[in-house]
């Protein structure tokens, strides 16, 4: 029996990672205003959120944002996963830079400091049967985990190299302004932690959450074609 996985993300990196692990998810754009969600949470807490708190908050927000999505007139029937990533270095938390100038300045600082930590948040909802399955272990029908990995950058990165990388556009829409599975892989000399967490999704953490809902990991393996709703 195959259990469908609905991914509340349009990240090509997360999709590629899941596919390489034998899971073909259905992609659903969550449409979450990330900055607004963090601002509300920080106002309520009266302080800035940590990197771990930020990715946990947004992963959950994304998963819950797609629960009302219907396919062929029917509610989602399977597991729903939300994910978020942020990069922390020099005491600051960074998401997607969006603008080339911001990405370039960030890379200049990262090259100078030489290391940082990539945080990946996950929120998984057991939505089999078309509604969240609540239990004593999961009273809200969902479970969350945060993974991290520390990266060390090459100590000989030069301005022209960084400018050329930013000019490709690759770092603009990814947390930390880099991707380990793209051009920036040549700039990273060491990873301490779960490698897949650097891509934005820790497969070991996801497997643990899936099993926590009583679903064997291999029941997510499928050969269907992912769709974007």
The catalytic residue positions are: 84
Gap between the Cα atoms of 199 and 179, Å rounded: 7
| Tokens standing for residue 48 | 């800035």
Please, which residues have CB within 8 angstroms of residue 81's CB and are 6 or more apart in sequence? 5, 6, 7, 8, 9, 25, 63, 122, 123, 124, 125, 206
Q: Provide long-range contacts, Cβ within 8 A and 24+ apart, for 205-211.
A: 205/120, 205/122, 205/145, 205/147, 206/81, 206/122, 206/124, 208/145, 209/122, 209/124, 209/143, 209/145, 210/79, 210/124
């Amino acid at each position: 029996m195959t259990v469908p996985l609905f991914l509340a993300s349009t990240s090509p990196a997360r999709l590629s990672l899941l596919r390489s692990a034998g899971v073909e998810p259905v992609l659903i754009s969550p449409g979450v205003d990330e900055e607004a969600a963090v601002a509300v949470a920080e106002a309520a807490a009266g302080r800035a959120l940590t990197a771990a708190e930020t990715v946990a908050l947004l992963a959950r927000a994304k998963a819950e944002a797609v629960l009302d999505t219907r396919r062929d007139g029917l509610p989602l029937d399977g597991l729903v996963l939300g994910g978020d990533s942020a990069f922390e270095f020099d005491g600051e938390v960074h998401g997607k830079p969006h603008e080339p100038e911001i990405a370039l300045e960030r890379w200049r600082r990262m090259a100078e400091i030489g290391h940082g930590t990539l945080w990946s948040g996950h929120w998984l909802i057991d939505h089999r049967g078309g509604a969240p399955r609540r239990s004593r272990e999961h009273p809200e029908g969902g479970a969350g985990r945060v993974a991290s990995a520390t990266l060390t950058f090459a100590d000989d990165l030069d301005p022209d190299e960084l400018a050329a990388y930013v000019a490709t556009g690759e770092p603009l829409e990814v947390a930390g302004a880099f991707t380990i599975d793209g051009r920036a892989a040549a700039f990273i000399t060491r990873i301490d932690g779960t490698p897949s967490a650097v891509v934005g999704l820790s497969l070991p953490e996801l497997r643990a959450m899936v099993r926590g809902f009583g679903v064997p990991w291999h029941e997510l393996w499928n050969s269907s074609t992912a769709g974007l709703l």
